[in-house]
Structure 1
Amino acid sequence: MEEDYILAKWLNDELSDKEMKALQQDPDFKLLEKIKQHSSYLKAPDFDAEKVLKNVLQADKTVKNRKLHNNWIVQIAAIVIIGIAFYFTFSALSKTTFKTKNTIVQHVLPDASEIELNHNSHVEFSRWNWDNDRNVFLTGEAFFKVAKGEKFTVKTELGSVSVLGTQFNVKTKKNFMEVSCYEGKVSVKHQNQEFILTKGMVVQLDNKKTIQTRTALAKPNWDTKAIEFEFQNATIATMLTTLNEKYNVSIVLKQPITSQFFSGKLPADNLDVALQIIASTYHLKVKKHDASNYELVKK
């Protein structure tokens, strides 16, 4: 009960220097400070919890037979305040999450910027605290149309993309990220490198190499019903990732190729033909292990 009383006094800024030093030694003091910080933003027109607590603490303490009763009121008031603070702290720290499976879904950020989320993708951001936490966490692929003058950062496992009034696409996969700029300018940060992309520029990143190319497309084509894929200056890694996702297979390239880019079309309804086109272009041969596993090797 004594601890609750000390906590109540601290919430009301009534601790002595000695009491404050003792409380700061508590291992949970940093968490308590965070709770108090968020509870200070509370505005309740019909119920002022801090005012109630103050009135309780200032109640007549000279009547000894009411001392126990008053302590119980202090304890209850402190619990109410802490409970409300926890609620708002949770709201501030919680994230808004959007996920897709076999659909393409559009969402609007708090600043009116638009996100178009591709299949099997996931974004997360803080709607409640957007002005102070302008970060969007992305897994998968998304096209962003940023409201003019607005700025935020898209974070992925491999790097981050900072934007200001632009249109761009971010595609992530395990150990791979591709950023395409369709309008304006974006800054892409990967490890100790930074790439500034303008309209038509593309950067592809993984843990071993970085490739900058260009795109002639006005917007990424995610139509899964399309009968062909069109590529502009694409790497073989990009094409294989597209085929793996489309056909739900595993195509492994034993010896990575980075010096030759592909511009052209691959069928979206015939995996064998698509693989033969890639193999012919890069002087490879296809090894089919089973219906879901393929390998491209040097001839």
Structure 2
Amino acid sequence: MNKNIVILCLILCTACSKTMEINTNANFEAVVLPDGSQVYLNHDSTISYEEHFDPRTVSLSGEAFFIVVSDTSDFTVTTKHGTVKVLGTEFNVKTTSKQLAVDVKQGLVALKTEYETSKVKKGIKAIYKDGEQAVQHIKSNREYRKWIRSLKKEFRTLGNEVKPILNEIGSELEKAGEKIGNEFKN
């Protein structure tokens, strides 16, 4: 194959690939990924993924709760300290500068670090600390539920604030529709 054609193909492939990034700063964020999986991001967290989402891979810094739709291909969360692979499940991933913690609400995940790969099942929290060679498995304390409750409360409050505005917009649209309808009758 002609060298120029190969270079052109590489340039086009790179140009077509777009990285999506969501950074929460001091907010919560809810994201629906292209495959339908849901991600709830805690404060000061960042998630990124390729727009075409094949393979199903996201990069995470901070904390996120995942509800992954089942698929034939793996879903992978990459972090500074390791990767988490699943087919379909619900789990929380929290990464800091010194550690990675995976807390499985439902299903089974594989946690891979520099030193080992271990399976983490429902009700278990796996913790990998930077510099240690083993992953510690403990009973889940479901600590993530606290920030998930705060996220839900914030979203409910926002919904209550937006509802009157949406009702007003709906009313105005209805009036405009009636006016247009009357003009067409005349």
TM-score by length of 1: 0.45
Among 68, 73, 81, which residue is 1:158 paired with?
81
Does residue 93 of structure 2 align to residue 170 of structure 1? yes
Aligned partners of 1:104 and 1:117 also within 8 Å? yes
Does residue 86 of structure 2 align to residue 113 of structure 1? no
Residues 138-169 of structure 1: CA distance to partner in whole angstroms, max 9, x if unpaired? 00000000012363100001000001110000
Distance in 2 between the 1:157 and 1:173 partners? Answer: 9
Go from structure 1 to structure 2 and tell me whether the alpha carbon gap of 1:36 and 1:91 turns closer, same or farther (over 3 Å shift): closer
Aligned equivalent of 1:138:
60
Aligned equivalent of 1:60:
none
Structure 1 unaligned residues grouped into runs of 5+: 1-12, 14-19, 39-84, 226-299
Residues 4-49 of structure 1: CA distance to partner in whole angstroms, max 9, x if unpaired? xxxxxxxxx8xxxxxx5xxx4xxxx6xx6253257xxxxxxxxxxx
Structural mapping, 1:101-250, within 5 Å: 101-128=25-52, 130-131=53-54, 133-149=55-71, 151-209=74-132, 210-217=135-142, 220-222=145-147
Aligned equivalent of 1:91:
16
Go from structure 1 to structure 2 and tell me whether the alpha carbon gap of 1:34 and 1:158 turns closer, same or farther (over 3 Å shift): farther
Aligned partners of 1:116 and 1:142 also within 8 Å? yes
Partner SS, residue 110 of structure 1? coil
**Following TM superposition, by how much is the alpha carbon of 1:90 offset from its aligned partner in structure 2, in angstroms?**
1.8
**Following TM superposition, by how much is the alpha carbon of 1:134 offset from its aligned partner in structure 2, in angstroms?**
2.0
Go from structure 1 to structure 2 and tell me whether the alpha carbon gap of 1:194 and 1:145 turns closer, same or farther (over 3 Å shift): same
The amino acid of 1:166's aligned partner reads T
Aligned equivalent of 2:182:
none
Structure 2 unaligned residues grouped into runs of 5+: 151-186
Distance in 2 between the 1:148 and 1:107 partners? Answer: 17
Go from structure 1 to structure 2 and tell me whether the alpha carbon gap of 1:182 and 1:224 turns closer, same or farther (over 3 Å shift): closer
Structural mapping, 1:265-284, within 5 Å: none
**Following TM superposition, by how much is the alpha carbon of 1:206 offset from its aligned partner in structure 2, in angstroms?**
1.5
Aligned partners of 1:121 and 1:139 also within 8 Å? yes
Go from structure 1 to structure 2 and tell me whether the alpha carbon gap of 1:217 and 1:176 turns closer, same or farther (over 3 Å shift): closer
Aligned equivalent of 2:156:
none
Give the aligned CA root-mean-square deviation in angstroms: 2.4
Aligned-residue identity in percent: 29
The answer to which structure has the higher strand fraction is 2
Go from structure 1 to structure 2 and tell me whether the alpha carbon gap of 1:218 and 1:112 turns closer, same or farther (over 3 Å shift): farther
Larger relative contact order (CA 8 Å, sep ≥ 6) = 2
Distance in 1 between the 2:102 and 2:7 partners? Answer: 37
Aligned partners of 1:182 and 1:219 also within 8 Å? no
TM-score by length of 2: 0.70
**Following TM superposition, by how much is the alpha carbon of 1:103 offset from its aligned partner in structure 2, in angstroms?**
1.2
Distance in 1 between the 2:27 and 2:65 partners? Answer: 14
Aligned partners of 2:67 and 2:89 also within 8 Å? yes
Residues 213-269 of structure 1: CA distance to partner in whole angstroms, max 9, x if unpaired? 1115395321697xxxxxxxxxxxxxxxxxxxxxxxxxxxxxxxxxxxxxxxxxxxx
The amino acid of 1:113's aligned partner reads S
Aligned partners of 2:103 and 2:142 also within 8 Å? no
